[in-house]
Structure 1
């Protein structure tokens, strides 16, 4: 089960808004809109995607990692260590982007 399952509709709604923003940016370029105005909208879409990513990361930590930690006694913590490493790698990717 995905960690965001309880928020799936909210995540999808946010992604649809971002999708609309990106389509709007495409229209701006097609209409030869001033560069700075296009860049402003690209920045807004980027921030919106980052907000989705942070929400997904929060869901992952609150569900998937917590579940792995809670059940770690069964495998000497291997599942918890793997989920924590996975989350750390995801955070590193977000910080670099």
Structure 2
């Protein structure tokens, strides 16, 4: 975690070691689920079985998003509001709108 991470945006977030490990572990499990789905397709698995696994992967991604969003609100958003950065609320609203499409 000490190495500087490349980011696709202009902002960065310092995460605690616990938060970082939790997020990475969740992503590793999701990655494994996706590889499993790919393997099912390659082995001509029955469509409903694949769909069930896709639903599980979607649920895992949604859970990941909930954890990440909660951490974001508890840290970044709260800190920015306390320091008077009102644009953060607009950014949060825009992000939530994207999530709810």
Smaller-chain TM-score bracket = 0.7 to 0.9
Distance 1:47 1:89 in 2: 22
5+ residue gaps, structure 1, are 73-78
Work out the CA distance in 1 between the residues paired with 2:46 and 2:63. 26
Partner of 2:92: 87
The offset of 1:91, in angstroms, is 1.2
Asked if 1:37 corresponds to 2:37, the answer is no
3-state SS in 2 of match to 1:2? coil
CA deviations over 1:18-74 (Å, ceiling 9, x no partner): 0000000000000000001001100100110011111111111110111011111xx
> Following the alignment from structure 2 to structure 1, what is the Cα–Cα distance between the partners of residues 59 and 90?
25
- Contact map agreement 1:57 1:87 (CA 8 A) in 2: no
What CA RMSD, in Å, does the superposition of the two structures yield over aligned residues? Answer: 1.2
TM-score (normalised: structure 1): 0.85
What is the match of residue 28 of structure 1? 40
TM-score normalized with structure 2 length:
0.82
Superposed structure 1 runs of 4+ greater than 6 Å apart: none
Map of 1:59-78 to 2, 5 A cutoff? 59-72=71-84
Shift of 1:17: 0.1
Q: Aligned residue pairs: how many?
A: 88
